[in-house]
């Protein structure tokens, strides 16, 4: 025989259920803007019925309860988003650095190295064509200074970006360690919370966020276990497993794109970390090309200039500072003699005032194929360097655009599944409110009949 208060019990569980449902709806609405939040869906279930006898055994419903609060989510999409994040992180970094490289090369314009080369060759042409004009020697000196300064500065600015990439690697590794520690910590909390059978939805969301950020930094893979914990690997390197967080290696090599510690070296195949490695290697390549340019200018110009007799009679004068081995672009400058006095510049080999033959030969270097530059002329070599940078940057930007689109599409799918819709939540809010009101009404009816029953006896 059911209790006389059966109805009151039934109505009060319904009230409690709808109150929780309203709160969960409120939680969803409150987190409409929370990154990584998965909306929570309420799973209502009818309570097990009570059996009673009237004239025969009958089943009496016991009302409603909340069977579970589910985190709406698609594991497969999350996995795809992680690998998309790695590609996006890599290209964002790489394309960003290449754009910085481009920004310090004002080409085509009158302010770049290409123009400085033109002016320098022109100055020799002018000196050769008018060797008695002292102004032409000054012009050679000035354009030589401008050329060497631009080459040096460009090299140093590239070095600045390269240093940034190195600092970026250090910062990324430190951030990876933080995230790895965070995931191990969340693993513990999730494991504890899951012991009672509950689903710690908000902790899971936070761990997913950490995993996503980690996958932007490097191409990590995650594996979920029965107990709710995840293990994280970076190719052959374990970052988090059942025993907790590991130490992220701090030794790295951009050329081989590896991290290493006492136990071995590990490849990095994606993420911001790989982007930084690639940026560093690419920029180093550009610096090497500037070194080659500077060294070729030294060899070609000094070799001829040393055969000449300067305006002041000096002989065997180097035009550019040079050393063995050659030092590249970093200290590319005019020789002290030429930088301090343009009279140390030679226009000819005879020492006669009107002899501009040597200067004309130096001017003709403009068109001369340099074996050290793979048979290109000096200007052409620089043009190809710029063309190479432009193509590399354009390609990286376009690849970044593609990766962005892929990630956005996955995000849209994920958001479509787990994102909060305020309209939907509003509708739920009204629905649960009405249900709550109905349950309250039922309670007052049950209360009324209980009262009537008690009054009947009096």
Q: Is 427 in the site for another protein (CB under 8 A)?
A: yes
Of 203 and 390, CB closest to another protein: 390
Q: Footprint of another protein on residues 98-117 (CB under 8 A)?
A: 98-99, 102-103, 105, 107-108, 114-115, 117
Q: Of 407, 352, 445, which Cα lies nearest the Cα of 89? A: 407
| Nearest-10 crossing angle of helices 75-103, 201-217 | 40
User: Do residues 295 and 308 lie in contact, with contact meaning Cβ atoms separated by under 8 Å?
Assistant: no
Q: Which is nearer to another protein, 126 or 342 (CB)?
A: 126
Contact 81, 414 (CB under 8 A): yes
- Give the H or E element holding residue 64: strand 64-71
**Residue 416 sits in the site that holds another protein (CB under 8 A):** yes
Under the criterion CB under 8 A, does residue 285 sit at the interface with another protein? no
Instruction: Pick out residues in 381-410 that bind another protein (CB under 8 A).
Output: 383-384, 386-387, 389-391, 393-394, 397
118-137 mask for another protein (x: CB under 8 A)?
A: xx-xx--xx-xxx-xxx---
Q: Does residue 348 interact with another protein by CB under 8 A?
A: yes
- Judging by beta carbons within 10 Å of its beta carbon (0-12, 13-18, 19+), is residue 90 exposed, middle or buried? buried
Burial class (CB in 10 A: 0-12, 13-18, 19+), 340: exposed
Are the C-beta atoms of 339 and 145 separated by less than 8 Å? Answer: yes
Q: Does 366 bind another protein (CB under 8 A)?
A: yes
Closest C-alpha among 129, 122, 121 to residue 354: 129
Rounded Cα–Cα distance for residues 420 and 39 (Å): 6
Please enumerate in sequence order all residues whose Cβ is within 8 A of that of 335, keeping only pairs 6 or more positions apart, or say none. 317, 318, 319, 320, 321, 322, 344
Measured from the CB atom, is 80 or 380 closer to another protein? 380
Looking at the Cβ atoms of 298 and 418, the one nearer to another protein is 418
Question: To 10 degrees, what angle do helices 357-364 and 113-129 make?
Answer: 150
Answer yes or no whether residue 360 interacts with another protein by CB under 8 A: yes
Which of 38/172 has CB closer to another protein? 38
Task: Give the one residue of 30, 60, 67, 412 binding another protein; rule: CB under 8 A.
Answer: 412
Indicate the residue among 175 and 366 with the shorter CB distance to another protein. 366
Label residue 272 exposed, middle or buried (CB < 10 Å: 0-12, 13-18, 19+).
buried
284 or 411: whose CB is closer to another protein?
411
Check residue 16 for interaction with another protein (CB under 8 A).
no
Instruction: Give the residues lining the site for another protein (CB under 8 A).
Output: 32-33, 39, 98-99, 102-103, 105, 107-108, 114-115, 117-119, 121-122, 125-126, 128-130, 132-134, 348, 350, 352-357, 360, 363-364, 366-367, 379-380, 383-384, 386-387, 389-391, 393-394, 397, 411-412, 415-424, 426-427, 430
């Amino acid at each position: 025989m059911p209790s006389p208060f059966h109805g009151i019990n039934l109505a009060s569980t319904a009230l409690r259920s709808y109150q929780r449902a309203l709160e969960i709806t409120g939680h969803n609405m409150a987190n409409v803007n929370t990154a990584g939040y998965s909306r929570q869906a309420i799973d209502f279930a009818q309570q097990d019925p009570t059996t009673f006898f009237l004239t025969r055994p009958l089943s009496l419903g016991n009302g409603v309860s909340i069977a579970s609060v589910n985190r709406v989510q698609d594991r497969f999409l999350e996995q795809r988003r992680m690998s998309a994040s790695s590609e996006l992180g890599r290209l964002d970094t790489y394309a960003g650095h290449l754009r910085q490289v481009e920004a310090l090369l004002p080409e085509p314009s009158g302010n770049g190295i290409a123009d400085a080369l033109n002016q320098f060759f022109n100055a020799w042409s002018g000196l050769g064509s008018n060797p008695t004009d002292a102004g032409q020697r000054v012009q050679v000196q000035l354009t030589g200074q401008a050329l060497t300064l631009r080459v040096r500065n460009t090299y140093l600015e590239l070095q600045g970006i390269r240093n940034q990439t190195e600092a970026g690697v250090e910062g990324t590794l430190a951030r990876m360690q933080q995230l790895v520690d965070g995931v191990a910590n969340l693993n513990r909390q999730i494991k504890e919370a899951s012991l009672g059978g509950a689903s710690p939805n908000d902790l899971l969301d936070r761990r997913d966020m950490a995993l996503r950020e980690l996958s932007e930094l490097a191409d990590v893979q995650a594996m979920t276990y029965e107990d709710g914990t995840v293990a994280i690997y970076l190719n052959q390197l374990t970052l988090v497993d059942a025993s907790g967080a590991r130490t992220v290696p701090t030794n790295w090599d951009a050329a081989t794109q590896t991290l290493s510690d006492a136990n071995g070296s590990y490849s990095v195949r994606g993420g911001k970390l790989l982007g930084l490695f690639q940026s560093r290697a690419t920029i180093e390549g550009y610096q090497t090309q500037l070194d080659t340019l500077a060294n070729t200018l030294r060899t070609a110009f000094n070799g001829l200039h040393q055969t000449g007799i300067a305006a002041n009679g000096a002989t065997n004068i180097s035009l550019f500072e040079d050393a063995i081995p050659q030092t590249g672009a970093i200290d590319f400058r005019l020789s002290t003699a030429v930088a301090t006095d343009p009279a140390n510049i030679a226009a000819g080999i005879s020492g006669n005032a009107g002899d501009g033959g040597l200067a004309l030969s130096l001017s003709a270097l403009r068109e001369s194929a340099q074996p050290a530059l793979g048979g290109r002329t000096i200007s052409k070599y620089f043009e190809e360097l710029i063309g190479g940078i432009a193509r590399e940057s354009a390609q990286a930007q376009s690849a970044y655009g593609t990766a962005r689109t892929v990630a956005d599409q996955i995000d849209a799918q994920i958001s479509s599944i787990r994102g909060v819709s305020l309209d939907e939540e509003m509708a739920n809010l009204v629905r649960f409110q009405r249900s709550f009101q109905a349950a309250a009404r039922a309670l007052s009816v049950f209360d009324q009949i209980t009262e009537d029953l008690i009054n009947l006896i009096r």
